[in-house]
Structure 1
Amino acid sequence: MIKSKLRSYIYEPVLTKEDIQSSKKRKGARASDWRKTLGRIWKIVDEQRALLIIILLMVVISSILSLLGPYLIGKIIDDHMIKKDFTGLKSMILVLIFVYIGLSISIFLQNYWMIGIAQQTVYRMRTGLFAKFQRLPIAFFDKRQRGELMSRMTNDMDNISSTLNSTFIQVFSSVITLVGTLVVMFSMSPLLTFLTMLIIPVMFVSTRWITRRTGKLFKTQQQALGSLNGMIEETISGQRVVKAFSQEQRMIDEFANKSSDLRRVGYWANVYSGAIPKTMNLLNNTSFAIVAGVGGILALKGYVSIGTIVVFSEYARQFTRPLNDLSNQFNNVLSAIAGAERVFTIMDEKEEQDQGKGELIREIRGDVTFEDVSFQYNLEEDIATIEHINFHVKKGQTVALVGATGAGKTTIMQLLARFYDPQQGRILIDDCPIQTISRQNLRSQMAFVLQEPFLFEATVKENIRYGRLQATDDDVVNAAKKANAHNFIMSLPNGYDTVLTADGGEISQGQRQLLSIARALVANPAILLLDEATSSIDTVTELEIQEALERLMEGRTSLVIAHRLNTIRKADLILVMEKGKLIESGEREKLIAKKGVFYQMLQQSTL
């Protein structure tokens, strides 16, 4: 029973059948992918070529000094200790001391400079990845966990950094030491050199057998870690929902399952990678025993001196040590490549594209036209999100979008802001197709007030100024007064300089919404998009927000999604959506007189 449980624990598969099949399909292309990833990292590192050359020079010097040390020890034994030459012995010991001091200094300098290169490389990759996040379309983030993306920014980057810090120098040093040691050994005794090299095929076969398994495991480990981080981020962000629905135990169980997956794959990744140094040590000791035994026989027969045997034994260790180091570092490289591949996968994602450079419009009037617009989020499905939408909004008009959840109201706003582009039809602002306007220019003349306002971990003043960074303190205060937010701001401990936590947890939902409206006011937009801005607000607070919204919408083209009658009472145009189609449009009184869908919604008190 115990053996059965132990066997199921140790041999429990980490990958699903789909993962294994996918891995087999990629098996032939894996090496080329790794070479491509290493090549991309090298391009970044190579930009500091001058310092790399200096580091390489230090590596050469340290390798020569490490080879010189055993040689001097052999000379000391044969020429001074056996002959009892104390004067020469003192001089050679001083030389040996200076050799090892020089070796230590050169190793320190190469490590010191390499750390700088590694940190600069990771800095460039991390800032490049963050900048890439800012250029990716909304659709990219809709399909991925935030925590998983954060894992690529932190864990994967740290993995690359630690590998560059140690592995880069270690590989150069090991190769140079290996070649130099082989040349010196061969010049001293071809027979002993041949015996030492007998372990190389065994090392190669055993290392290849292990690394073929660790490569897949390290990649899976990074994926499991990203998935775990994604769940942690979601659970912490959604603690109110978790507790409100008493789902604590379910989240604990789900976390335990994901953590168990990470534990299993981490267990095997470290078991296999840990087997390499143990195997190398065994082979190293075996080689040393062979050299010592055969060398002792040769020394007894007078073919070589005692000093030569001592020196050769040390060189034999130095010959196998670089092989051991290379094998150990190979695991680090595999792990770093797995992380780098995940980073470069994001870097290769398609960014938001404008036609050409995009037309620059200095000031938008606010006329909005949808001409036969159709759009669907998932192109693999036949069902469109919205179909054949046509309407025209004049400058300064307020348009209300009404309909059941999933009718396509928010999609219309996202298309207008060019978070997505329609597959059919045209959207025009001031008779100009928005696809010809740069996204940044377009959005700079819009403002959003969402159902769930987002606040940054910054002061109240900075959160309001986020709408327009050039706004003065007076602009911020005036916007807050128009948004009915000034009084509650002044009641905070430090007024406008009060630092809010992420999402403004220390103030109420209504107060966060007032700050969101103040942010929109300070932006002074031509077009305003309100997505159910009062749906989660109590009736008393709604009156304050509604008054602030009326000031905000004054003179601006406004598109409003609302579920409450008060929000759309003064709308110039009402668009009734149902299952992605525009089924009714017109002024409120005319729609009521028509006694169609809008009238039925009023009768059922859904608005």
Structure 2
Amino acid sequence: MSAQQTVPRRPPQRGPGPMGSMGMPGEKSANFTASGKRFLRELRPEMPRIVLVLVLAVASVVLAVIGPKILGEATNVIFAGYVGNRPELAPYAGQTQEQVVQALRDAGQDTFANTVSGIPGLVPGQGIDFAHLRGILVVVLLIYVGSFLFGWAQGRITAGVVQRVVLDLRADVEAKLSRLPLRYLDSHPRGELLSRVTNDIDNVAQTLQQTLSQLITAVLTVVGVLFMMFWISPLLALVALVTVPLSMMVAAMIAKRSKPQFIEQWASTGTLNAHIEEMYTGHTLVTVFGRQRESAEVFAERNDTLYESSFRAQFISGTIQPALGFLANLNYVIVAVVGGLRVASGTMTLGDVQAFIQYSRQFSQPITQIASMANLLQSGIASAERVFELLDAQEQDPDPEPARQLPSPVRGRVAFEHVAFSYAADKPLIEDLSIVAEPGQTIAIVGPTGAGKTTLVNLLMRFYEVESGRITLDGVDTRELTRDALRSQMGMVLQDTWLFGGSIADNIAYGVEEATHEQIVAAAEATHVDRFVRTLPDGYETVIDDEGANVSAGEKQLLTIARAFLADPTILILDEATSSVDTRTEVLVQQAMNALRVGRTSFVIAHRLSTIRDADTILVMEAGAIVEQGSHDELLEAGGAYARLYASQFAAAVTE
């Protein structure tokens, strides 16, 4: 479209006004089940890679789980060599293990006989078999190296999955923002929206990155370790499982208490960001009116609220790991004691007990990880829900299919026919408004603040939709056109200027992608931009920041006017377009605007009535209605609302 700026997003009004009833919505209770399912649906496009991650995780976990069992065989070899080489067994060199056990029992050494019977591979009089031990250690090394490589590949693929999911989520949010109606943007603080687009999505990414791979690995590890534990000793496995229900109960209780704290944490984050963005944008006015202390107090209050909610969320969820760690240590002590007794009785080998103790550690660790992930998952789901709320917001009405086409060439006849509109249902603003702008006419709109002047422009541009009646362009209802087709015929210059980070030439050519340098310079000369651009060191290639801080307010206004001039629209909309220029420049710009308006239908919103004397028709609005219309001279002669406005600006006050 050739409209040069989007309508600036106004903060929601808290007092009377068209948007007064629209404040920031309160946070509703999170539906974690529904949000969690939707969160998982975001992963569907990555399912082939997730399956591959699962396969790699299985391979890594299987190797990691087998490792302790084989390492236990190395312990058995060492223990068998140590016991077999003891002096007590020297007299039995050359005998079999069974013969030695029987001889010890006959000698009344039943305890020692039980220990010897439980050592596989024991050879009386023979020390450690280092060749066998070396072979076992090489196998264990290969197993752990293989587990590492599979785990590394799993982590690499997972990182790609997470980043692609977040990439798509950011793209969805960006596309959603372009489909949201201006009503939604007007009723939500920009800082709150930015918090959802940045902080919340970043938190979702962090949650996915830290839980997706670890969660799969942790669950598989629990299953694999549990299988090995029952294989080695069902009795010890049952002993180890005694603390599991208690661990799950503790984790569930803590997670339940932390859930509302995470919801409050991210809501408080959005509120604080909204305040910071608002104060940063209006820093000059805050300073001029001496409101730094009040601003700091509001910041401190909201910062304290965020601190309290964050502290509670992190502290409560952070108690999961030490609580489960205590239960894991208790479980370790029980397994060690029972296992030691079974080795002494000869019913288990030392290597199996060692492996089982490792497994008990491996078993409790992923359970602790899964419970600790409740911290991240609660936080991540809370952020995802806030993003989903934005994605589910009601969008502007879709363009019609098939859409009508404007007649060629577009003449620019605009008609408002019995139009009604209100920002709030209980506060009508415009009722039964009808006006016609013939091709090439200049329609000036004046009136007090809040009369509905800018609202007319918003309705014409379809930033808002009329509630009844219709607006036509060359006889075609604008609702039957696509928004792009409608706005491509319009150029717009607002009182609040907008420039993006880039060169001056890029900013002027914003609405015309194929503009040549000669066309840019011609537009700049026509709008008196060229005179100050020539004084800059880099001329038209001078780079300005996104706030336009290195050019004055009047120069920014001139740049936006040059932008509209270059776009060469059929319909021109000027919303107090010369408010930031000096009196001498205003005269020059008015001459340029007069030339620009030739042959175009123009709507000029003005507070300075001197700028619209030559308008074909002047509409005087009060409370959303047109109370007067006519030329400048006709309205002065009528002595009505326009005459009073004119007198208030130009009549000299006489004081004694």
Alignment partners' CA distance in 2, 1:252 and 1:568: 43
Amino acid in the other structure paired with 2:39:
L
Alignment partners' CA distance in 1, 2:511 and 2:52: 49
Q: Deviations over 1:483-522 (max 9, x none)?
A: 1111111111211111111231221221111111110011
| Identical residues among aligned pairs (%) | 37
2:536 equivalent to 1:492 = yes
Instruction: Indicate the residue corresponding to 1:8 in structure 2.
Output: none
Alignment partners' CA distance in 1, 2:644 and 2:144: 92
2:455 equivalent to 1:455 = no
Match of 1:67 among 65, 72, 78: 65
2:283 equivalent to 1:239 = yes
Instruction: Indicate the residue corresponding to 2:18 in structure 1.
Output: none
Cα offset for 1:459?
Answer: 0.7
Deviates more, 1:96-105 or 1:368-377: 96-105
Check whether the contact 1:280–1:324 (CA below 8 A) recurs between aligned residues. Answer: yes
Instruction: Indicate the residue corresponding to 1:525 in structure 2.
Output: 569
Deviates more, 1:105-114 or 1:401-410: 105-114
Amino acid in the other structure paired with 2:65:
L
Q: Deviations over 1:63-121 (max 9, x none)?
A: 01111111011111124542321110011111111111112222211111111111111
Aligned with 1:583: secondary structure? strand
Instruction: Indicate the residue corresponding to 1:9 in structure 2.
Output: none
Task: Specify every segment of 5 or more residues in structure 1 that has no aligned partner in the other structure, as ranges.
Answer: 1-18
Q: Closer, same or farther in 2 for the Cα pair 1:368/1:135, shift >3 Å?
A: same
Cα offset for 1:534?
Answer: 2.1
Instruction: Indicate the residue corresponding to 1:376 in structure 2.
Output: 422
2:302 equivalent to 1:279 = no
Query: Aligned residues, how many?
Result: 579
Give runs of aligned pairs for residues 47-446 of structure 1, distance below 5 A: 47-83=45-81, 84-353=128-397, 354-361=399-406, 363-379=409-425, 381=426, 383-446=427-490
Aligned with 1:604: secondary structure? helix
Amino acid in the other structure paired with 2:301:
N
Q: Deviations over 1:140-196 (max 9, x none)?
A: 110111122111222112111122222111111111111111111112111111111
Check whether the contact 2:318–2:375 (CA below 8 A) recurs between aligned residues. Answer: no
Q: Deviations over 1:274-309 (max 9, x none)?
A: 101111111110111111111112222222111111
Q: Which has the higher helix share?
A: 1
Amino acid in the other structure paired with 1:71:
K
Instruction: Indicate the residue corresponding to 2:120 in structure 1.
Output: none
Alignment partners' CA distance in 2, 1:502 and 1:31: 39
Alignment partners' CA distance in 2, 1:537 and 1:551: 18
Q: Deviations over 1:217-272 (max 9, x none)?
A: 11211111111111111111111111111111221111111111110011011101
Instruction: Indicate the residue corresponding to 1:16 in structure 2.
Output: none
Amino acid in the other structure paired with 1:515:
L
Check whether the contact 2:27–2:267 (CA below 8 A) recurs between aligned residues. Answer: no
Alignment partners' CA distance in 1, 2:629 and 2:538: 48
Alignment partners' CA distance in 2, 1:531 and 1:110: 57
Check whether the contact 2:420–2:468 (CA below 8 A) recurs between aligned residues. Answer: yes
Alignment partners' CA distance in 1, 2:336 and 2:635: 101
Instruction: Indicate the residue corresponding to 2:90 in structure 1.
Output: none
Alignment partners' CA distance in 1, 2:543 and 2:470: 43
Aligned with 1:350: secondary structure? coil
Amino acid in the other structure paired with 1:593:
E
Aligned with 2:160: secondary structure? helix
Q: Note the aligned Cα RMSD (angstroms).
A: 1.8
Aligned with 1:355: secondary structure? coil
Alignment partners' CA distance in 2, 1:305 and 1:175: 28
Runs of 4+ in structure 1 over 4 Å off: none
Q: Closer, same or farther in 2 for the Cα pair 1:38/1:606, shift >3 Å?
A: farther
Amino acid in the other structure paired with 1:40:
R
Amino acid in the other structure paired with 1:356:
E
Alignment partners' CA distance in 1, 2:574 and 2:639: 27
2:516 equivalent to 1:472 = yes
Aligned with 2:142: secondary structure? helix
Match of 1:550 among 576, 594, 597: 594
Structure-2-length-normalised TM-score:
0.86
Check whether the contact 1:80–1:88 (CA below 8 A) recurs between aligned residues. Answer: no
Aligned with 2:644: secondary structure? helix
Alignment partners' CA distance in 1, 2:534 and 2:142: 70
Alignment partners' CA distance in 2, 1:357 and 1:550: 37
Amino acid in the other structure paired with 1:370:
F
Alignment partners' CA distance in 1, 2:27 and 2:549: 44
Q: Closer, same or farther in 2 for the Cα pair 1:233/1:423, shift >3 Å?
A: same
Larger Rg: 2
Alignment partners' CA distance in 1, 2:536 and 2:630: 44
Q: Closer, same or farther in 2 for the Cα pair 1:539/1:22, shift >3 Å?
A: closer
Alignment partners' CA distance in 2, 1:540 and 1:266: 56
Give runs of aligned pairs for residues 563-602 of structure 1, distance below 5 A: 563-602=607-646
Aligned with 1:605: secondary structure? helix
Cα offset for 1:38?
Answer: 2.1
Alignment partners' CA distance in 1, 2:278 and 2:411: 40
Check whether the contact 2:452–2:623 (CA below 8 A) recurs between aligned residues. Answer: yes
Structure number with higher relative contact order (C-alpha < 8 Å, ≥ 6 residues apart): 2
Aligned with 2:502: secondary structure? coil
Alignment partners' CA distance in 2, 1:492 and 1:529: 30
Instruction: Indicate the residue corresponding to 2:40 in structure 1.
Output: 39
Alignment partners' CA distance in 2, 1:546 and 1:566: 10
Check whether the contact 1:37–1:340 (CA below 8 A) recurs between aligned residues. Answer: no
Amino acid in the other structure paired with 1:38:
F
Aligned with 1:82: secondary structure? helix
Check whether the contact 2:262–2:313 (CA below 8 A) recurs between aligned residues. Answer: yes
Alignment partners' CA distance in 2, 1:216 and 1:102: 42
Cα offset for 1:357?
Answer: 4.5
Amino acid in the other structure paired with 1:234:
E
Aligned with 1:502: secondary structure? coil
Alignment partners' CA distance in 2, 1:38 and 1:141: 25
Structure-1-length-normalised TM-score:
0.92
Q: Closer, same or farther in 2 for the Cα pair 1:140/1:421, shift >3 Å?
A: same
2:583 equivalent to 1:539 = yes
Alignment partners' CA distance in 2, 1:243 and 1:172: 54
Amino acid in the other structure paired with 1:65:
L
Amino acid in the other structure paired with 2:511:
G
Cα offset for 1:606?
Answer: 6.6
Check whether the contact 2:555–2:581 (CA below 8 A) recurs between aligned residues. Answer: no
Check whether the contact 2:314–2:375 (CA below 8 A) recurs between aligned residues. Answer: no
Deviates more, 1:51-60 or 1:304-313: 51-60
Aligned with 1:87: secondary structure? helix
Q: Deviations over 1:444-489 (max 9, x none)?
A: 1101111111111111011111122222222211111111111111
Alignment partners' CA distance in 2, 1:22 and 1:240: 32
Deviates more, 1:597-606 or 1:266-275: 597-606
